[in-house]
Structure 1
Amino acid sequence: MKDYVIKAINAAFPRTVFADLSALDKICVGADGWSAQDFLDEAAKEGGIVLAAFDGTRIIGAVAGFTASDTGEILTVATAPEYRRKGIARNLLTEFFSLIPDETETIALEVRQSNTAAIALYESFGFEKAGVRKRFYRDPVEDADIMVKKFRT
């Protein structure tokens, strides 16, 4: 049973929500984590999608990305450490995919090469490795795999 609620976040949400999203992302990603302004900007822009999983008033997971024309990108996925392996990221991604326009042909993302759990999750959604971004992450320095999901062939 799901003990949390997923909400689509828009620019009208209280600024504290964006600060909480940033705090979660920094716990999960470190120095490369998003700022509150990054989340607000993504939520406000056309094609931007920001989703958060709430356990009561606490944000325990988030995904942010966008679509533009026939492509899109997942920019960040975060789950609070004590809530991992409970399907939260899977449910957030499922909701993300339900919100993208029908004309979307591909969605891309970057993931740390050492994050095998995330890579396995993305592969379960049909993402495939498409390349590498050298030294993409700063803290610690690490390469990123570029992964792409095709919706139409």
Structure 2
Amino acid sequence: MRIREADAGDIVPMARLERSGQLHPWSFATFVLAFSRDERNIYVALAGETICGFICAWPIPGEIQIHNLCVSPDARGRGVGRLLLKQVIADAHRRQVPVFLEVRFGNLPALELYRTAGFRVVGIRRDYYRDPAEDAALMSYDIGQQRRET
């Protein structure tokens, strides 16, 4: 398994993977827009030459926001998501900023992944998701807190 920075040539396989594993997948246009950003942290996980996961995060002043983490159904539970998170966390350490994300409270595997990676629930976004309606957990990885605990 290896992680590399994604490029525009990865849009089609990323969009295909997204449709196979997400409740509400991003559109192809959303992927194109993501790659048009000047500041972006988009990485893919490769098993051989096949993309089996990706993460899309945006650095903004004072933080990095994770907007999408997707792992192919057949690669789940194999550490792919953790490797992708580690890459973004390493970016946060270089920039000396926290990382934020939102996740459905009902997405227990994702919540557990984020918790074991060092993220903490710092807030609730009521009725954030639709179809089905659900609250979001606002989670943060605070690099300062992580240093104090280790």
Please give the TM-score of this superposition, normalised by the length of structure 2.
Answer: 0.84
Q: Which runs of 5+ in 1 are unaligned?
A: none
The question of 1:9 aligning with 2:14 is answered: no
Q: Which runs of 5+ in 2 are unaligned?
A: 146-150
1:25 to 7, 10, 18: 18
Secondary structure of 2:58's counterpart equals strand
The residue identity in structure 2 corresponding to 1:131 is G
2:47 to 50, 55, 74: 55
The residue identity in structure 2 corresponding to 1:96 is V
Runs of 4+ residues over 6 Å off in structure 1: none
Higher helix share: 2
Distance 1:134 1:64 in 2: 23
1:34 to 26, 41, 51: 26
CA gap 1:49/1:20 in 2 versus in 1, 3 angstroms? same
CA gap 1:24/1:140 in 2 versus in 1, 3 angstroms? farther
Q: How big is the shift at 1:87?
A: 0.3
What is the number of equivalent residue pairs in this alignment?
145
In structure 1, the partner of 2:57 is: 65
